[in-house]
Structure formats: C-alpha cells, structure tokens
Amino acid sequence: MQGRELYATILGIGEPWRVKRVEVRAGAEEVEVFVEHDGSALNCSVCGASGSRYDARERTWRHLDTCQYKTLLTAEVPRTKCQAHGVHQVHVPWAEPGGRFTALFEGLAIDWLCEASISAVARRLRVSWDELDGIQQRAVARGLSRRKSESVTHLGIDETSYQKRHEYVTVVTDIKRARVLEVADGRDETALEGFYKGLSEEQRSGIVAVAMDMWKAYIKTTRRFVPDADSKIAFDRFHVAKHLNEAVDSVRKQEHRQLRADGDDRLLRTKFLWLMGPDRRRALPHDRRTLFSALRDCSLKVARAWAIKETARELWSYTTRGWAERAWKKWIGWALRSRLEPVRKTARMIREHLRGILNAILLRVTNATGTFTLTLPPGSVTTLPVPLTRADAFRSESWCIVRSSPCLARLVGHE
Ligand SMILES: [Zn+2]
C-alpha cells in the first residue's frame, strides 16, 4: 500500500490514473509500476469529446530510475470510440503519443545531452543509440513546432565542410538567440530554399538582417525569398577578414618560395604571425613579437599586404553610410594599386559587394562571436563561426552532424 502511494507520488500519477501494483525484481535491478485507469473521463484524444470505452491495450514506458533501479511504467491504456474520429488511445499525461519513454525521462536525457556525448549518455542511461536519437528527434520536433510562430530578425548563414570530405552543409542561425535554425545539405541555391519556404510570409518580411559570406548562391536565394533583400544582406566583418587573410597568406607563400630560392629563410614559420589579430599578437612571447616587428618594417610584399588587411580592420566602426562608403572606397583604391594580385582580387570582390558590407556596418551584424563544432564521427572535427560552443551528436539521413548543445537546449526549450 505504502509502496503504491510512494510510486504514485514519485511518478506524479493522479486521477483518473492510479497505481495498481509495484513489482520489484531485485536480481535484475528493475522496478515495474503497474498503472490503471479508473474508467472516468474517457475523452477522444483528437477532439476531446467524451467517448465510451472501446477496449484497452497494455503499454510500457521507461521512466527515471528509482534508487538506481531501472523503472518501468506499465499501463492498460483504454481506447475510446468517438463518433467523429473513430477508435483512439486516450492521452496519457506522462508521455507523448508514440514514445516509449516518459516525458521526465526524455527531459533527463536531453539535459544529459547538453553535457555529454551521445554515446556517453546512451551508456549512462542504459538506452540504445537509436532510442536516444528518437528522443532528440522528438525534442527537436517539439522545438520546431513551437518556433513556427516566432519572429527571427537576424539570420546568420554559413557553410562548412566535413574535413577532407568536401561535403558541404549550410547552417542557418538565429544570431540574436544564438541557436541553430537549420542545417541543410550542400551550399548551392537549393540549400536555403527549404529554410525560407518553412517561414511564413510574416516571418520573412520581419527579417531585418541576413549575415553571410559573399557567396552567389546564398545571395540569390535570399533575394528570392526576403523582401527588400538588398538592404538586409550583410557581408559581415568575419567573412571579409577571412578573404583578406587568405589573400595575405597567398602573398606570403609566393614570396617565401621566391626568397627561399635565393637562400633567404626570413618567412619560414611566420604564417600565423601575419594572420593573427592584435589581441593575439600582443600575447605573443617577446622574441616572436620582436621578430614580427622587424619583418613588418622590411620592404616585403607580405608586409604591404598585411598593412592593407590591418587597415580594413579599422573600417568597421563607422556609424553613417556616407562616411563608411568614402572610407571603404579609398581603401579599395589603395588595395587595387598594390600590385599584389591576391589582394587586388579580394579588393575587386569587396568593391562588387560593397553595399552588403555597408549594410553589415550600419545594421551592426556579425556572424562571428564563438565557435560551433561540427563533428563527423570518428574524430574529424571542423569549426565554423557561429555563436555556439558545445557540441552533441545529431543524425540525419545523409550525414552525421554534431550540433551545439546550447543550441539544442534552446531549440527544445527547457523540458
Ligand atoms: Zn473525436
């Protein structure tokens, strides 16, 4: 008797449900709690109208462990017959339709997934990988259905590839709420289609800014779906800096090759000195800092490319379009006259996309405030710059993906 009351309390079982009996299997470290319906308030699970009992089916759910015993909840779940909707199982308050775990168990699993890898959680909770995957999918589906009515004002669009695989995915993030909205295969025009089509017209016109790289396919699709896209597409500072860094690095590589041919090793192992920002540079050991100062003051091509790149860094703080535009145009002119082909190429790209760069400055959007880790088991990791930090395994049909757990937690809300 006491046991039954105890379990009714622990499981949160109340009318019209009651605990019939509790079976403890000490050898198997298992407890099975049998629950029954008292026959009152039998409502159709589709429309809620009261119906008559048709029959009952026994079903079992895995619940949170009690005293480290695996705890199962078994109930004879009545089915009702409704005039309009036919025969349906009544709703059980402890689980979602179709699930084999109670809502509390699924909530615990999601909490754990925010802290540990999918295989660790599967081991710890004694569930299979597939079962855990199902729990995640249901949590994401719940989060997604909740999200349908929310507005997303600031989007971030990024591509990333699996290391060595050259398989691209497109990741759409909600910059303001720091969460992933979509991970789609590929990075062509169709990659973003599904995402935009999933938004209502109201949501699409509520978009204020879309931060992205200067990538034709993303620009084109965003223009198709977002009203007045040209004043909302923003090529953010992170992506522009990435292109400039690539230009500096290719100047360095060419020059290093030429110098080495003449027995000059000055640029050996200096790659990252030219790419790092001022903060990391200040943190360098004294000898590296001195070395870099000396190199920077030489008449090296890479030093000129570096100076152009570093100057661009200063061009993001303008608050009016007119001043920002003048400053960027002046910078573009300088870069184009540099006689450094990789730098000129990037400058031409920036000139073509200047409107979006000015949008980024005035809308104050950036895509890069943290690191989002994508992992393709076993072991291959690549990072992309969206404001997320931790990672958990996610599975889709064509790829395995690790999504950030703050993202997962936010996506599903807190269970
Ligand atoms: Zn009905």
CA of 42 to the centre of ligand 1 (A): 11
Within a domain: residue 369? no
CA of 81 to the centre of ligand 1 (A): 8
CA of 57 to the centre of ligand 1 (A): 19
Within a domain: residue 47? yes
Are both 266 and 187 inside the same structural domain?
Answer: no
CA of 143 to the centre of ligand 1 (A): 26
Are both 208 and 298 inside the same structural domain?
Answer: no
CA of 52 to the centre of ligand 1 (A): 11
pLDDT range class, residue 355, cuts 50, 70, 90: very high
Q: What is the pLDDT of residue 377?
A: 31
pLDDT range class, residue 409, cuts 50, 70, 90: very low
Are both 47 and 2 inside the same structural domain?
Answer: yes
132 versus 142: the higher-pLDDT residue is 132
CA of 23 to the centre of ligand 1 (A): 35
pLDDT range class, residue 221, cuts 50, 70, 90: very high
Are both 2 and 54 inside the same structural domain?
Answer: yes
63 versus 150: the higher-pLDDT residue is 63
- pLDDT per residue over 82-136, tens digit each? 889 999 999 898 888 878 898 888 888 887 876 677 788 889 899 998 888 788 7
Residue with tokens 């031409």: 348
Provide the domain count of the chain: 3
CA of 55 to the centre of ligand 1 (A): 16
- pLDDT per residue over 252-275, tens digit each? 999 999 999 999 999 999 999 999
Q: What is the pLDDT of residue 393?
A: 31
CA of 53 to the centre of ligand 1 (A): 13
CA of 150 to the centre of ligand 1 (A): 30
- Residue 310 lies in domain: 237-363
CA of 80 to the centre of ligand 1 (A): 9
Judge contact between 135 and 106, C-beta under 8 A.
Answer: yes
- C-alpha angle 62/65/69, rounded to 5°? 105
Are both 359 and 378 inside the same structural domain?
Answer: no
Burial (Cβ within 10 Å: 0-12, 13-18, ≥19) of residue 405: buried
- pLDDT per residue over 286-339, tens digit each? 999 999 999 999 899 999 999 999 999 999 999 999 999 999 999 999 999 999
CA of 54 to the centre of ligand 1 (A): 13
Residue 372: is its pLDDT beyond 80? no
Within a domain: residue 143? no
Judge contact between 88 and 115, C-beta under 8 A.
Answer: no
CA distance 316 to 327: 10
Judge contact between 332 and 297, C-beta under 8 A.
Answer: no
Residue 400: is its pLDDT beyond 50? no
Are both 10 and 43 inside the same structural domain?
Answer: yes
CA of 136 to the centre of ligand 1 (A): 30
Q: What is the pLDDT of residue 371?
A: 37
Residue 163: is its pLDDT beyond 60? no
Are both 217 and 255 inside the same structural domain?
Answer: no
Within a domain: residue 17? yes
| Phi/psi-derived region of residue 304, left when phi > 0, alpha when psi is between -120 and 50, beta in every other case | alpha
Write down which residue in 363, 384, 399 finishes a domain: 363
CA of 103 to the centre of ligand 1 (A): 24
Within a domain: residue 131? no
Mean of the pLDDT values across residues 179-190?
Answer: 79
CA of 415 to the centre of ligand 1 (A): 28
CA of 78 to the centre of ligand 1 (A): 14
Within a domain: residue 16? yes
**How far out from the chain centre does Cα 369 lie?**
13
CA of 44 to the centre of ligand 1 (A): 5
CA of 59 to the centre of ligand 1 (A): 22
CA of 100 to the centre of ligand 1 (A): 24
Task: Look up residue 46 and give its DSSP letter.
Answer: T
CA of 49 to the centre of ligand 1 (A): 6
Are both 332 and 382 inside the same structural domain?
Answer: no
367 versus 216: the higher-pLDDT residue is 216
Within a domain: residue 215? yes
Residue 276, φ and ψ in degrees, nearest 5: -75, 155
Are both 209 and 254 inside the same structural domain?
Answer: no
CA distance 194 to 186: 12
- pLDDT per residue over 40-78, tens digit each? 888 888 888 888 889 999 999 999 888 889 999 999 999
pLDDT range class, residue 247, cuts 50, 70, 90: very high
CA of 50 to the centre of ligand 1 (A): 8
CA of 67 to the centre of ligand 1 (A): 40
User: Strands 30-37 and 69-82: what pairing?
Assistant: parallel
Q: Print burial letters for 223-247: b (CB count within 10 Å at least 16), e (below 16).
A: eebbeebebbbbbbbbbbbebbbeb
- Find all residues with CB under 8 Å of 339, minimum gap 6, and list them: none
Write down which residue in 51, 66, 97 finishes a domain: 97
The answer to whether the Cα torsion of 241, 242, 248, 252 is positive or negative is positive
Query: Half-sphere exposure of 277 toward its Cβ, with a 13 Å CA cutoff?
Result: 8
pLDDT range class, residue 4, cuts 50, 70, 90: confident
CA distance 337 to 330: 11
CA of 74 to the centre of ligand 1 (A): 25
Cis bond leading into 377, ω under 30°? no
Are both 395 and 356 inside the same structural domain?
Answer: no
How many residues does this entry show for the chain? 415
Range scoring the smallest mean pLDDT among 81-95, 212-226, 298-312, 344-358: 81-95
Closest CA to 227 of 206, 211, 212: 206
Beta strands in 2-66 (DSSP E): 17-25, 30-37, 52-66
Residue 169: is its pLDDT beyond 90? no
CA distance 263 to 303: 19
In percent, how much of the chain has pLDDT > 70?
A: 82
CA of 129 to the centre of ligand 1 (A): 36
CA of 310 to the centre of ligand 1 (A): 67
Residue 386: is its pLDDT beyond 80? no
Are both 275 and 392 inside the same structural domain?
Answer: no
Q: What is the pLDDT of residue 411?
A: 42
Mean of the pLDDT values across residues 202-216?
Answer: 93
The answer to whether the Cα torsion of 210, 215, 219, 222 is positive or negative is negative
Q: Which residues pair with 373 in a beta bridge?
A: 383
> In the predicted model, what is the mean pLDDT of the chain?
82
Residue 202: is its pLDDT beyond 80? yes
Q: What is the pLDDT of residue 367?
A: 65
Are both 283 and 383 inside the same structural domain?
Answer: no
